[in-house]
Amino acid sequence: MAIKRRPKRLAHGRPPAAKREKEHMSSKQTRTIIRTHHRLQKELAAALRSGDIRLADEINTKIEKNGGLKVYQAASKLGQSKSRGGDSSKVLVEWLKKAEIIGAKEDASSAPYRLLEVGALSTENEISKYPRTIHVKRIDLNSQGPGIQQQDFMERPLPASDDDKFDIISLSLVLNYVPEPVGRGEMLKRIGSFLRQPHNRRSSMLPALFLVLPLPCVANSRYLDEDALLRMMRNLGFILEEKKNTLKLCHYLFSWTGKSDNKRAQKKLIRDGPGMNNFCIVIE
């Protein structure tokens, strides 16, 4: 008797990464996609630095096989879901409420505060729920849709006037995306140019940087600990106002003093041990 085969679904022929993007990804799968993407980005940066174009091409192919930036973003977005701890901007909202910048009722009488969200995956995260108080400008290397401008922060034109600057910059899980320590330092150095001058401040906590990193970047790195991070930030003109650690993330709010000491921070071994990582920020 002939066996009847069910016609294959279209998804059957799709590459695994494309399937994964649509399907529910387990925490383990999202972690693997994110880690592989970060590792390959680092390898790509090293290949490009050494001028090895053939190797860079091979690594680019591997990045695409892992789903590329699109699948990485989908995995990151799942990490923001309520069932996995929610998006990090809820911590920023808590702090802005504590400082009475966000009030019990939205205040439409004064001009909204301006926030630049670098690395924005969604227009619906917690910080987007106060549009009359906080006006959010969102940018990302790969826009996921309307309301998010596709732009590399490192290539964003410098503001022409203080009015074009921001009261808050959010850098949540973006600094660790930058593959090289010097690039991370360059990103932090650039932040001050986009923040309003403190003499125009509307709150003692603002202008400010909201910085979020995976906890192991600070708690388990050979080349960075919290003291070193805070020292580096002070030298760049940022004073710690608030901090919060969760099981996976560390959140900081730094107010901007308006001036940097231009002090360098080199790669220096702080501690060592099995299972530690090599996350590092270099200020040149």
Ligand X SMILES: C[S@@+](CC[C@H](N)C(=O)[O-])C[C@H]1O[C@@H](n2cnc3c(N)ncnc32)[C@H](O)[C@@H]1O
Q: Does 152 bind ligand X (CB under 6 A)?
A: yes
Our CB check for ligand X shows the closer of 129 and 234 to be 129
119 is in an annotated binding site: yes
Our CB check for ligand X shows the closer of 177 and 223 to be 177
CA–chain centroid gap for 36, Å, is 17
Our CB check for ligand X shows the closer of 146 and 273 to be 146
Task: Count the neighbouring beta carbons within 10 Å of the beta carbon of residue 145.
Answer: 8
Task: Count the neighbouring beta carbons within 10 Å of the beta carbon of residue 32.
Answer: 15
* Inter-residue contact 115 to 135 (CB < 8 Å): yes
d(CA 144, CA 111): 28
Q: Does 215 bind ligand X (CB under 6 A)?
A: no
Q: Does 217 bind ligand X (CB under 6 A)?
A: no
Our CB check for ligand X shows the closer of 119 and 181 to be 119
Choose one: 6-14, 19-27, 73-81, 157-165; the region binding ligand X (CB under 6 A).
73-81
Q: How distant, in Å, are the alpha carbons of 121, 142, 188, 213, 280 from that of 231?
A: 30, 32, 13, 16, 14
Report helix, strand or coil for 30.
Answer: helix
Least Cα distance to 116 among 8, 190, 219, 41 occurs for 190
Closest chain position to ligand X (CB): 119
The residue within the footprint of ligand X, chosen from 140, 185, 194, 223 (CB under 6 A), is 140
Q: Does 121 bind ligand X (CB under 6 A)?
A: yes
Q: What is the DSSP letter of 254?
A: E
Our CB check for ligand X shows the closer of 74 and 102 to be 74
Q: Does 119 bind ligand X (CB under 6 A)?
A: yes
Residue whose pair of structure tokens reads 């091409």 in the numeric block: 57
- Rg of the chain on CA atoms, in Å: 21
Minimum CB distance to ligand X, residue 139 (Å) = 5
Q: Does 185 bind ligand X (CB under 6 A)?
A: no
In the annotated binding site for S-adenosyl-L-methionine, the residues are 119, 140
Q: Which residues form the interface with ligand X (CB under 6 A)? A: 69, 73, 76, 80, 88, 118-119, 121, 139-142, 152-154, 172-174, 177, 212
